[in-house]
Amino acid sequence: MSRPKVLVSRALPREALDALGRFAEVVESPKDEALTAEAFAAGAADCEGVLISVTNRVDGAFLARCPKLRVVSNIAVGYDNIDVAACTARSVLVTNTPGVLDGATADLTWALILAACRRVAEADDYVRAGEWGRSPNPFLGQEVNGATLGIIGLGRIGQAVARRASGFDMPVIYHQPERAAAAIEAACRAAYVTRDELLQRADIVTLHVAYGPPTHHYLGARELKLMKRTAVLVNASRGGVVDDAALVAALQDGVIGAAGIDVFENEPHLHAGFAALKNVVLTPHIGSATMATRAKMVGLAIANLIAALTGAAVPNPVNPEARTRRGDSS
């Protein structure tokens, strides 16, 4: 019996590829760089599975070129790069990798908070340019200790961010559509408020929500104007949750004080205004980018893929109904 064919869209550690290769014929990406849409579709045309990153778009046009496809295994928690409804309609299972990157993303959130509040990137440029001692040192930033932290989305990552705030003696307020359980609020020392109240009160606002129609431009010009002029905005969730054009304008005009942004609309193409701004720290979607976390994500993505191809219970299905449509009840 022949093994199912699988496309791996980005370079992976050899041990991971070997593990997958025991169950499937693996087609490796020739380079560790994002495939073009054409190369991705061509490579997957006769595959039953694809192992992908958030840079790969799976939509109706892609699926039409991949008639044998049974599973799309995303090496990420978010899956806004995938048209899940289109996959379900074609009985293609979608999987993701939740739970293993919470700590790493929370750490990156805090790196952005500290860097934006204390103007670390600006100060680094200043030292590298040889300006220290030759020009005034103007890098007065925002106090972090004791500042009010506003968390939008008190899920797993939001909770991890909140727990870290205790070391800075920060009052924590949060908002999400449904109030969290009392035990979670107590563990995070977090008080529930409306979105507008959070934006008005918080010294630092950090976003931890999924992207979709309800959260498209969740923070736009109106919401940014509610924030303090000294406030710092951090987004390590998903691009599109913030209206990037409105954020650039707010940073240019002093509507808010600073920002730390890891995710953007139209990644990897940034709004042109970001690069010229001194009061924003920019990172290239690296919330999960630690060696240990990425290894866990790849391992879970491979486990999802193998389970789907062998008919076993899949650890993290996004659209389990796709298997039912295909007649696979496992």
**Which residues carry out catalysis?**
238, 267, 285
The DSSP bridge pattern shows strands 93-95 and 71-74 to be: parallel
Helical axes 120-128 vs 102-117, angle rounded to 10°: 60
Place of tokens 């929370």: 106
In whole angstroms, what is the distance from residue 55 CA to residue 239 CA? 12
In whole angstroms, what is the distance from residue 29 CA to residue 12 CA? 9
Which of 21, 19, 15, 151 minimizes the C-alpha distance to 7? 21
In whole angstroms, what is the distance from residue 63 CA to residue 83 CA? 10
Q: What is the DSSP letter of 214?
A: G
The full 3-state SS of 8-74, as one line of letters, equals ECCCCCHHHHHHHHCCCEEEECCCCCCCCHHHHHHHHCCCCEEEECCCCCECHHHHHCCCCCCEEEE
Place of tokens 């930033």: 141
Residue 210: CB partners within 8 Å, gap ≥ 6?
A: 78, 80, 237, 238
**Bridge partners, 82 (sequence order):** 58
Q: What is the DSSP letter of 278?
A: S
E strands, the chain, are 5-8, 25-28, 49-52, 71-74, 93-95, 149-152, 172-175, 190-192, 204-207, 232-235, 258-261, 280-282
Cα 249 to the chain's mean position, in Å? 23
Say whether 127 sits in a helix, a strand or coil.
helix
57, 37 contact by CB (below 8 A):
yes
In whole angstroms, what is the distance from residue 76 CA to residue 52 CA? 9
